[in-house]
Structure formats: structure tokens, C-alpha cells
């Protein structure tokens, strides 16, 4: 069994530290790097960054973790929707600056649940 590099409690702590009610994976990555530099180093060592010729990068790993976490009972995030009828789900076009660090023309937007909201 593989050891989880970033525990769920650290994901929650990171989400709570993000100042905006919605955020991208790049916002999340920046906050992880700031809050948990030793974990960040392990993530980079294991997965690497976009542009390092790796298919599964730290952004992919963290995006997957956020997606799974968003669908858990009592998550701090609204459940992420990959697709919606007539739309692109919880995605928006990435800026040219974001594409330098992420690569995709689309970037996921995660939304926090306000205290007292019920999903």
C-alpha cells in the first residue's frame, strides 16, 4: 500500500487558508508550497512539475485529490462537476500565464462551501 504524501487534514487546512471563495489548482499549489514546504518538496520529487516531460504531475495529483475530496461527506468544497449539460462543468478558460504552469487550455475552479450552506 502506498503512503499518502499529503494527508486530508492538510488539504482541509490549505483550503481554509485560501482567501477567496473559489480557487484554481494553481492557487492551491501555491498555498501548499507556502504552508507545507517539506510536503511540497516530496510532491515535486515524486511527481514533478508541468514541462518536465511527465504525464502525471503534481498538479494532476492534487487536482485528483481535490476532486475526490469535494465529493466526500462534509467536504469543505462544493462537489466538483466535470461536465454539465450544455457546458464545461466547473472549468474556465486558462489564461496564457496559467497555461505556462499547467498546460491545459481549461482550468478547474473549486468552490468552498460557506459555513451554514448545505449541499
Kindly state the average pLDDT of the residues 73-96: 84
Read off the pLDDT of residues 4-57 as tens digits, 9 standing for 90 and up: 888 999 999 999 999 999 999 999 999 999 999 999 999 999 898 876 677 778
Residue 32 grid coordinates: 501548499
In angstroms, the CA 17 to CA 9 distance is 12
pLDDT of residue 13: 96
CB 68 within 8 A of CB 60: no
**Which one has a higher pLDDT value, 102 or 11?**
11
Residues 22 and 109 sit within 8 Å (Cβ to Cβ): yes
Q: Greater confidence, 77 or 1?
A: 77
Whole-angstrom Cα distance, residue 42 to residue 63? 17
**Residues 58 and 29 sit within 8 Å (Cβ to Cβ):** yes
User: How far apart are the C-alpha atoms of 49 and 53, rounded to whole Å?
Assistant: 9
Amino acid at each position: 500500500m502506498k503512503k499518502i504524501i499529503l494527508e486530508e487534514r492538510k488539504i482541509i487546512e490549505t483550503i481554509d487558508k485560501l482567501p477567496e471563495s473559489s480557487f484554481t489548482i494553481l492557487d492551491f499549489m501555491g498555498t501548499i508550497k507556502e504552508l507545507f514546504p517539506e510536503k511540497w518538496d516530496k510532491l515535486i520529487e515524486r511527481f514533478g512539475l508541468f514541462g518536465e516531460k511527465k504525464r502525471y504531475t503534481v498538479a494532476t495529483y492534487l487536482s485528483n485529490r481535490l476532486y475526490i475530496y469535494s465529493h466526500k461527506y462534509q467536504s469543505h468544497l462544493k462537489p466538483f462537476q466535470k461536465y454539465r449539460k450544455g457546458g464545461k462543468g466547473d472549468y474556465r478558460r486558462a489564461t496564457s500565464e496559467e497555461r505556462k504552469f499547467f498546460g491545459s487550455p481549461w482550468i478547474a475552479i473549486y468552490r468552498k462551501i460557506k459555513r451554514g450552506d448545505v449541499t
